[in-house]
Structure 1
Amino acid sequence: MSRPVRAAEVLAAAVLLVAVAGCGSRLPESDFERGSTAPAPSGAPIRVGIITSATSPVGGSAFTGPRDGAKAYFERLNARGGIDGREVEVRTCDDGGSGVGNNECVHKLVDEQRVVALVATSSLDYAGASRVSRARVPDVGGQPIGSAYDTYPHLYGIYGSLAPRDGKPGWGGKLIGGTEVYRYFKREQGARTAAVVSYNQAASAAYARLVTRGLKAEGYKVVTEQVDFALPNFRAAAADLKEQGADLVFDAMDTHGNAQLCEAMDDVGAEVTAKVTNVQNWTSSVADDYKDAPRCRNALWATGASRNYEDTDQPAVREFRDAMKDTKALSQWQLEGWAAAMWFTDAAKSCRGDVTRACVDRFMNRDKSYTARGLLLPVTYEERAEPPESREACVSVARWKDGEGWVTQGEMSDNCFDVPQLSYQP
């Protein structure tokens, strides 16, 4: 599959807006008791590390979803006997959202505690990525908030990569992203005009330009709206996108800004086919986050590369939901952290008792895609010398409906399109 431009860069843009609140939903520490029918794990524990920006400039809950999903998976795995009778021992580290803190976490987990692998990394500044790679420690299923997973060998982000990963980002410093999200709304929803709203701030504006470029490549008429970061006039932006007849609204803003924009859209009567957000905002907290914008709230759509956590007709989702049944707020990032832990577990099981860094890395480097029992669109890691000009890419889509939550829009493995791959500077 192709990683859409949207996935990582919207985070990078929001991250630099350090005066904003976090976008995710924090999960309390899970505490699942071991089932009485499963033997307790025996033998030497298998130690893994999870690095998370649990405290960061964008709020304490923004990055914790992957960690909490992974921990819940390992807790349930241990309750069922672990891996070949060995418990998975999880060591966590909060890097504080800084490069210095990240390097300290890498040193602590990789060098001192000698973890077999890192799992479900979600770091604001993955400054220690090169050290992880040099140590040949597999990093399994991390969130590609920056370009590390398209830069270094032994790092395997949750969405895959085609880049050479030879120490430089992508191909000659440029990454690629597909336009499948824009194609989806054009084909399935008949959208033709899209508004892109950003702050007058460098990272936000740069990301907005990427979105605009992708939309234009798909033939959209694009309306750009920029608001002042310090004193944003969302009402004026909302009035203009209504006047321009926008079918879709994309943004390069944080959740707080999105909520304010939605309120303004409701105030001026701007109705759109979809107010499109990303996987990080695919959470059960929407009703609270957008409590003052009921019309816009019910026009929220989310896109990503993993199966909707509301799809309880799927066995793999049911297991995730059962493990998280005591959780107050659910999120798609939790499900992706769960999938990352499953990925590591499958790799470790392939080692047949001798779980080493090298063995796990061999599994990750297989010439075979991975889906985490259908929770992920097929994830592949290749090393193409040149970036493809086009590629078939699929997208998972859901829309919010009050009283129902996130409602899946079509089977994600069927929402597939042959789309151009646009290069961009990370």
Structure 2
Amino acid sequence: MLAGAACGSRLPESDFEERPPAPRGSRQGPPVRVGIITSATSPVGGSAFTGPRDGAEAYFDRLNDRGGVGGRKVEVHTCDDGGSGVGNNECVHQLLDEKKVVALVATTSLDYAGASRVSKAGVPDIGGQPIGSAYDTYPHLYGIYGSLAPRDGEPGWDGELYGGTEVYRYFKREHGARTAAVVSYNQAASAAYARLVKRGLEAEGYDVVTEQVDFALPNFRAVAADLKDRGVDLVFDALDTHGNAQLCKGMDDVGADITAKVTNVQNWSSTVAEDYKGAPRCRNALWATGSSRNYEDTDHPAVREFRDATKGAKVHSQWQLEGWAAAMWFTDAAKSCSAAGSDVTRGCVDRFMSRGEPYDARGLLLPVTYERRERPPKTRETCVSVARWRDGADSGGADGAGSADDEGWVTQGEMNRTCFDVPQLSYQP
């Protein structure tokens, strides 16, 4: 740093990235390189984190079939970090330094250890899943759900993150729920999320029961028995798909009768019938909440396009749809560069991302905002996307209603109108 100061001022590298545009009408040019880092293999399981990657790749495949960005193909480079910090740093080095990608898209990492290196290099990371606190910590990182934090190198505001109580308000208002349980692993990210859920439920007036299971050797049946004994009618979790399925099986085994088993966006997928095959009662009490439009809503044109492009996939999931939206977000940023007569560079893409305007991916996302507020908001109007799983007639459902074609996630209200002015509560990551 002293040597740099002695040599005078130094402009950021992004200022040297701009190049004269190709002649008008030219369809030639090198591919636009993007990177996708995924914990495709990890302690959580082989397919736990691959949904966003698959959705993004599907979007880029269709984009390239239609000519790419200004006639340039998008060249996708994927890297499996193995769910470790060491592996993540290796992926960051490979994609940024060796492949020279313009941006990262749909990052889904169990341990995003290389986040500070991505930020320092000025590489925009677009539409990643906020499994940790990186997207509320560093500039140039834009998670799929947005952030209002300063992002100055410290998580949130003075190390505190904030979340709203809109989900708990929804179930209280719509279903009269009063007693709720929160089940988590004894793992840092899971436990931190569970603490936030507990505080939110308490803020909304619930009686709260907390349960924690060992990540390596979980005893879900014992948890289920305790939930039954305590008369819990609403269950939240900070678990993966396998953990949710085992918890549900335990609840069916002990005869626990609940109003709703509420899960997160990671478990919002078409594999429910198979994953929860041993728990038909709990399966038909599954609800999922998130910030993106239900992938089953094929009446919506943007969802229909996603489903058409992925109709050959064996599995569909909400994370796939969000990966598709992340790729769309990058593409809109890249197109803005071309429209302005600029090359598609890291700096140009980042300017689009940081312009401060909400983004909704053609209606696939609740409007995503990235700001840098000095202080966290005390309250905020927040909307929520809600869906409930229903079995078809041939799937062994609890009620046997409908047909096999009816099986799937059923949207509960329009997400852009299911909104609440709720408190924002702090928690430590």
Which of 388, 407, 417 is the matching residue for 1:414?
417
Instruction: Check 1:41–1:56 CA distance in 2 against 1; reply closer, same or farther (3 A cut).
Output: farther
1:170, distance to aligned residue in structure 2 (A): 0.6
CA separation in 1, counterparts of 2:103 and 2:186?
A: 40
Which of 263, 272, 275 is the matching residue for 1:286?
272
1:101, distance to aligned residue in structure 2 (A): 1.3
Which of 86, 98, 119 is the matching residue for 1:100?
86
2:370 corresponds to? 381
Q: Secondary structure at the match of 2:363?
A: coil
Instruction: Check 1:228–1:118 CA distance in 2 against 1; reply closer, same or farther (3 A cut).
Output: closer
1:25 corresponds to? none
Farther off after superposition, 337-346 or 183-192: 183-192
2:244 corresponds to? 258
1:276, distance to aligned residue in structure 2 (A): 0.6
Which of 300, 313, 328 is the matching residue for 1:327?
313
Identity fraction in percent: 83
Q: How many residues align?
A: 388
Which of 92, 102, 121 is the matching residue for 1:116?
102
Post-superposition Cα deviations, 1:172-207, rounded to whole Å, max 9, x if no partner, equal 111111111111111111111112234566665554
1:47 aligns with 2:36: no
CA separation in 1, counterparts of 2:184 and 2:356?
A: 40
Alignment of 1:22-101 (within 5 A): 42-101=28-87
Alignment of 1:147-158 (within 5 A): 147-158=133-144
Post-superposition Cα deviations, 1:48-90, rounded to whole Å, max 9, x if no partner, equal 1111111112112111111111011011001011111111111
1:23 corresponds to? none
Alignment of 1:12-411 (within 5 A): 42-199=28-185, 204-227=190-213, 232-352=218-338, 354-403=343-392, 404-411=407-414
Q: Secondary structure at the match of 2:424?
A: strand
CA separation in 2, counterparts of 1:185 and 1:41?
A: 53
CA separation in 2, counterparts of 1:118 and 1:207?
A: 25
Structural RMSD (CA): 1.9
Q: Which amino acid aligns with 1:83?
A: V
Farther off after superposition, 235-244 or 260-269: 235-244
CA separation in 2, counterparts of 1:337 and 1:200?
A: 28
Instruction: Check 1:105–1:239 CA distance in 2 against 1; reply closer, same or farther (3 A cut).
Output: closer
Farther off after superposition, 144-153 or 247-256: 247-256
Residues 183 and 194, structure 2, Cα contact 8 Å, conserved in 1? yes
CA separation in 1, counterparts of 2:115 and 2:209?
A: 38
Post-superposition Cα deviations, 1:198-224, rounded to whole Å, max 9, x if no partner, equal 456666555433322110000001123
Residues 194 and 250, structure 1, Cα contact 8 Å, conserved in 2? yes
Post-superposition Cα deviations, 1:210-246, rounded to whole Å, max 9, x if no partner, equal 3221100000011233456666554443333234332
CA separation in 1, counterparts of 2:391 and 2:427?
A: 37
Gaps of 5+ in 2: 1-25, 393-406
1:423 aligns with 2:412: no
CA separation in 2, counterparts of 1:99 and 1:115?
A: 20
Residues 48 and 240, structure 2, Cα contact 8 Å, conserved in 1? no
CA separation in 1, counterparts of 2:216 and 2:354?
A: 46
Q: Secondary structure at the match of 1:47?
A: strand
1:247, distance to aligned residue in structure 2 (A): 2.0
2:19 corresponds to? none
Post-superposition Cα deviations, 1:23-50, rounded to whole Å, max 9, x if no partner, equal xxxxxxxxxxxxxxxxx96422111111
Post-superposition Cα deviations, 1:309-328, rounded to whole Å, max 9, x if no partner, equal 00000000000000101000
1:360, distance to aligned residue in structure 2 (A): 0.6
CA separation in 2, counterparts of 1:81 and 1:259?
A: 42
1:112, distance to aligned residue in structure 2 (A): 1.8
CA separation in 2, counterparts of 1:179 and 1:146?
A: 19
Instruction: Check 1:53–1:201 CA distance in 2 against 1; reply closer, same or farther (3 A cut).
Output: closer
Instruction: Check 1:49–1:237 CA distance in 2 against 1; reply closer, same or farther (3 A cut).
Output: closer
Farther off after superposition, 325-334 or 201-210: 201-210
Q: Which amino acid aligns with 2:118?
A: V
